[in-house]
Each structure stands twice: as structure tokens, then as C-alpha cells.
Amino acid sequence: MTISDPLGTSDEDHQELKSRILAVRETSAVRDRLKSTTCRWCGVPIEYNGVGRPRQYCRDSHRSRASELRTVQRLAGLPVEKGGRTTEPVREVIERTETQTRTTVRTGPARLRMPQSPPEWAVALHQLRRAVRGGRFPGFDDLLLRDLEETIRVVRECRTGALDTTGD
């Protein structure tokens, strides 16, 4: 270390001067101040006025695009079962449908609504024909046939006026 002596004193005097110094304080401050930055999406320079947090994107649309890209990159790293994406093409699309059926059984006699007019009877008989053709009444064919023949007999009697009112 070189000490400059403006008074031109000798080395012996320097020893004497060094012993008289009680404290030396030197301070140095270097301050960096951000003046501008570049957009993280497109690289365009963005001026910074020194107030608040510096902007990272020059436009809101660039901020949105960068956010979308980060989301896609984050999801690409997850397994597909946990919401991640895959780069492989879709080979199968599976739709799962769950059906719940609730059946209510009530006590007491069932209330059967009987057809009230000839068009309602025509609809009911048409539905009966479809059900028999579809095999919905196996084992009841003879019973159904007997009751329908009896009904046809009663209808014919009503036409001729010889109705027996003592039947069911």
C-alpha cells in the first residue's frame, strides 16, 4: 500500500502519523436502476419508469398467450389420469353412462287406468299386439286368447242386442 504524503515528511514521520489515526471510514455505493426490459413473449423493448413492478409483457394478449403456454407445458408433464395431456393421437373415445333406476312399491291394490273411449281402446289393443309379438307374455298365450275370444263374443252380442248382463 502506498501512502502519498503532501507535506513531504519522512518514513519515520509516517509511523508517527499512523499511530494518531483513530478511525477511517470509507463508503462506496453503487446503485443499479432498471431503465428498460424486453417482452418475454415477443422481445420488444419495454420502457420502465421506476415505479412499481416492471412489466414483463408488452401487451395483455402476450401475457395471456404465455400463461396458456405455461399451462399446457405443466399439464403435459402430468400423467393423463391426473389431467395431463398426451402427444399421441386419440385412438379410442369411451363414453361412460351411469343409469340409476328407482322403483317404488306401494302397498294396496294397483290402480289400473282403463281406456275410456273407443280410440283409447284401439291404442291399448295395438300396444297389446306389439307386446305379444315381442314375446313379453310367455306362458300366458292361452289365458290371453281365452279372454280375447270372450271379449269378441260379448261385442258381437252387443251388436245383435242379445247382451247377457250377468257376466263380468
Instruction: Map residue 47 onto helix, strand or coil.
Output: strand
Give mean pLDDT, residues 128-146.
83
Confidence (pLDDT) at 93 = 66
Cut 0.95: pTM above it: no
Give mean pLDDT, residues 112-132.
87
Give the residue ranges of DSSP H helices in the chain: 11-20, 60-76, 118-133, 141-160
Give mean pLDDT, residues 31-49.
87
Asked whether the beta carbons of 23 and 47 are under 8 A apart, the reply is no
pLDDT band, residue 61 (cuts 50/70/90): very high
Instruction: Map residue 119 onto helix, strand or coil.
Output: helix
Give the model confidence (pLDDT) of 4-30 as tens digits.
444 555 555 455 555 566 667 788 887
pLDDT band, residue 143 (cuts 50/70/90): confident
User: What element of type H or E holds 37?
Assistant: strand 36-38
pLDDT band, residue 110 (cuts 50/70/90): low
The grid coordinates of residue 15 equal: 509511523
Confidence (pLDDT) at 1 = 44
pLDDT band, residue 36 (cuts 50/70/90): confident
Mean pLDDT score of the chain: 77
The grid coordinates of residue 45 equal: 423493448
